[in-house]
Amino acid sequence: PVVMEWEADAVCILGIMKEHPTKKDTDCSQPSSDLEYSGLFTRSFSDEFGQAIRGDVAGIGAAYAVIVVYLFLNLGKRDSVHSMVAMSFGCLACVGLSYVGGTGLGSLFGVKNNPLNNNIPFLILGLGVDDAFVLVAELTRHAAQDKGASVEKLIAATAKTGGASVLVTSLTDALAFLVGASTTLPALSAFCIYAGISVILCFLFQIFLFLPLLAINLRRTRANRFDLLCCFRSSVKHEINDPQGCCCCIWFPRANPPDGLLPKAFEWVGNKTVRTMPGKVGTLVFWLGMFAVGIAGTANIEKNFKLEWFFPSGSYTKKFIDLNDQYFSEGTTFRFYTNDVDLFAQQAEMNEFTSYIDQISAIKQSSLQNWWPNFRSRPTVSPAGTTRADFYRELWAWFGTSAFKDSIMWKDGRCNSKDAAVSATCDPTQGVAHTQISATLRRLGDGPTRFKTVNQMRLDINKIFKDDSGMRAFPF
């Protein structure tokens, strides 16, 4: 659009951004003056969020790469037969099919797609890789315990133990997402539905695709055939518990560390922390300390929200918001309402109410739009002998020429009509249904402070009007 392009040129000419938002070859230099410009434009949010997201793309790509590399290096053994590189490709195939299947089923069910779904592949990749490690570890354990067992028996045992573990984690993850789909936020609900379906499919593909691939891989290893080059056999027998190294480890045996370093390390730590008295005491003290820190941190949690928290440091939008808060800040605008209050019978309460809000330091007094002291000069009390009807006729006569016509709602609907002919026939003596007084809070800082301030006003006003319900006069 023309407006967005004009704003892109403006942020560049004023030196607000170092690079032109749309013309990548255009240099945006700061104007040669002592003035520094800042501003908030229609395109500001899209500029800042887009730049932040583009900056995260590299990090997300690196995270994908780390998980995939870890999978290829650690799923199997450091052995040319038991390396399980091909099985790593099988795991990635399960992940890809889960995401594609989840997207297809979600679309088939009529669930709308949205940008949040771009995070699902990363979630499914982590879950699928974890499931693959669990199944492979269980297969390795069963194969070591029963070396003479058939392939079918080993796969069945793996499905019995490893499959149960995978089922529990997948079921809890899927339920968490599907329960989250009940939220009223459409985009978040759709994301939860797509994620829940993808998690379920990931489990099914692990059981009905990855496990059969493990069976084929087990037959290959028993035939002593190389991983990836399964048409060729090794001349040396390769045992799964005695990896002989691969790649450079074949020619440089010293580069091949002994197997089981991590299990041995965890076993040593477990023996020290669980079987010895100092370890038991140290573990108890450590976790009690963590619990105490958690309780202390929980007690300091505050509910608050600021839009500028979404912008990265150095953002011109965040800088504008900070400067605006510092020099031109205005608090929240709100109103005091009265509901079905007999103004004639409670003139004293209205006077006390007006005096009260005039003394509230949290309110910018220049922002008060209070119709009551404008109705009569203080004290606003009717002379002796004034009847209720006289009071409301006087209020109606003032109302007709006042600037507060939006502040009073009469019980007789004809009095509220903009048509002079209709309002002339109304009966103001029926009384006033609702009134409002507008005001603006000073800049109070965080949300809890604003809540405490307004809530205290509510309690004080209830006392003035002797109203336990809190519905006759209140700030909102």
Buried b (16+ CB within 10 A) or exposed e, 342-356: ebbebbebbbebbee
Instruction: Read off the pLDDT of residues 35-86 as tens digits, 9 standing for 90 and up.
Output: 788 888 888 878 777 777 777 778 888 999 999 999 998 888 878 888 889 9
pLDDT of residue 399: 93
pLDDT of residue 260: 66
Q: Kindly state the tokens that stand for 390.
A: 């006289």
Rounded average pLDDT over 303-331? 78
Residues found in the chain:
476
- 340 backbone φψ class: left, alpha, beta (φ>0; ψ -120 to 50): left
pLDDT of residue 384: 67
The C-alpha atoms of residue 75 and residue 283 are separated, in whole angstroms, by 31
145 three-class SS: helix
What's the gap between Cα 362 and its chain centre? 32
Higher pLDDT, 160 or 302: 160
Side-chain-side CA neighbours of residue 407 (13 Å)? 22
Instruction: Read off the pLDDT of residues 279-299 as tens digits, 9 standing for 90 and up.
Output: 999 999 999 999 999 999 998
Buried b (16+ CB within 10 A) or exposed e, 316-334: bbbbbbeeeeeeeeebeeb
Query: Cα–Cα distances in Å, from 180 out to 99, 110, 203, 303, 407?
Result: 19, 18, 19, 21, 43
Report phi then psi at 205, rounded to 5. Answer: -70, -35
pLDDT of residue 344: 92
Instruction: Read off the pLDDT of residues 411-447 as tens digits, 9 standing for 90 and up.
Output: 999 999 989 899 999 999 999 999 999 999 887 777 7
Instruction: Read off the pLDDT of residues 234-261 as tens digits, 9 standing for 90 and up.
Output: 878 887 777 776 654 444 554 555 666 7
- pTM higher than the cut 0.75: no
Calculate ∠ Cα 363-367-373, nearest 5°: 95
Query: Cα–Cα distances in Å, from 365 out to 46, 266, 440, 475?
Result: 37, 67, 8, 16
DSSP state, residue 184: S
Rounded average pLDDT over 323-338? 83
Least confident segment among 48-62, 196-210, 352-366? 48-62
CB 404: neighbour CB atoms within 10 A?
Answer: 17
Calculate ∠ Cα 274-275-279, nearest 5°: 55
Contact 76, 87 (CB under 8 A): yes
The C-alpha atoms of residue 196 and residue 190 are separated, in whole angstroms, by 10
pLDDT of residue 248: 47
pLDDT of residue 325: 77
Least confident segment among 148-152, 247-251, 351-355? 247-251
Rounded average pLDDT over 455-461? 93
Rounded average pLDDT over 94-114? 94
Query: Cα–Cα distances in Å, from 61 out to 64, 194, 475?
Result: 5, 22, 51
Structure confidence at residue 476 as a pLDDT band (50, 70, 90)? confident
Q: Is the per-residue pLDDT at 339 higher than 90?
A: yes
